[in-house]
Amino acid sequence: TSPTTSNIETEPDYFPDEVVSSKLVGGVGTYTVTSGDTIRLVAARLGVTRQHLIKLNRLDTASYLKIGQKLTYNNRKIIPKRMQDGIVVNIPDRTLYFFQHGKLSKSMPVALGTSVKNPKYVWQTPVGKFKITAKQKDPTWFIPPSIKSEMEDSGKEVISIVPPGPMNPLGKYAMKTSISGILIHSTTKPWSIYSFASHGCIRVYPADMVDFFKEVKINTPGEIIYKPVKLAITETGRIFLEVHNDVYRKGTNVVDEAKRMILNQNISDRVDWKKFGTVTRQKFGVAEDITM
C-alpha cells in the first residue's frame, strides 16, 4: 500500500538515540540449498544481496543452485537503535528489529518502498514513530486510490478489493500501523524481501511473519528510521562499520558521515583506514571489523 501523511506518536519507552551501538546481530554462516531455491530467494531469506552471495561463493549467475549445495554468507548487522518493547525498521539496511523487555527478540530482512523516482507517485517508506493499531489474519486488501491510479496508467484492470487467498499481495498476515497507508505484512513474493520493491509497506518473509504476528500486540510502538551508516564499538573494543547506499537520495555522503562518527568517538587512531576505504567504497551493508 502507499504512504500519505504520517501520524507521529510520542512514545515514552524509547531509549535515547545512540550514535554508536555496542550490539551486533547475525554473522557468518552456511546455508544448505533446498528444492526450489534460487540465488535471489536465498539472498532474500538470509538478508543479504545477490551480489554478496555470488561473490562470496564464486557463483556463476547463469547456473542453477544444486540441492545440498553449501553457501557461505555474512549477514552481520549493527543494531541501529534500541527500544524497551517495540519495532525498529532501518530503511537502508532493509531490516526490522523487534525488542521485548529491552532485548532484541528477533531481526528480520524486509522489503520496503521502491526508490524509483516517479513524478506522479512516491512509494518510499516514510520515517516516523508509530503504533500497531490492528492485526488481521487472512486479510482483505482494500486498494488505495493512488495504486488504482497507477493500475489505470499502466493499462491494467482497475480493481478495488482483493480477497484473502494466493492472489492477495498481503499474504496471510497483516498489521496496520498508525502511519497512514503503511502496513507490516507477509507477502506472496518472498524473493522480493531485502529489496526496495513495495508501495511503501513493510513486507516480511512469510515464514518469519508467523511467530512475529503472534508476538506483536495492539499498541506495540515502533519507529521507522533512516541510517545508511552505522558504527559499533563492542564491549571488547572492536570497531565495526556498516555502510549502505543512500537509497532514497536524502543527501547523505556516507564516507563523510562514517568519518564524522569515528572522529566524534575519538577512535581515529584505532581504525584501519584501508579497511575503512574498502567498506565505504563497496557499501555491501555488512558490519565489518575495521579495527587496526
**Which pLDDT tens digit goes with each residue over 20-66?**
666 899 999 999 999 999 999 999 999 999 989 999 999 987 778 99
**pLDDT score, position 272:** 98
Alpha carbon 150 to its chain centroid, in Å, reads 25
The grid coordinates listed for 71 are 553457501
Distance between CA atoms of residues 25 and 23, nearest Å: 7
**pLDDT score, position 4:** 34
What pairs with residue 14 in β-bridges? 83
pLDDT averaged per 10 residues, the chain (length 292): 37 55 89 95 94 92 89 96 94 96 94 81 90 94 75 74 84 94 93 92 95 96 96 93 95 94 94 97 95 95
Specify the residue for cell string 531490516. 95
Give the H or E element holding residue 277: helix 273-282
Nearest to 174 by CA among 154, 202, 149: 202
Distances in Å between the Cα of 155 and the Cα atoms of 50, 99, 152, 242 are 32, 43, 5, 42
Q: Give the pTM.
A: 0.88
Domains and CATH numbers, the chain: 28-75 (3.10.350.10), 79-224 (2.40.440.10), 229-289 (no CATH)
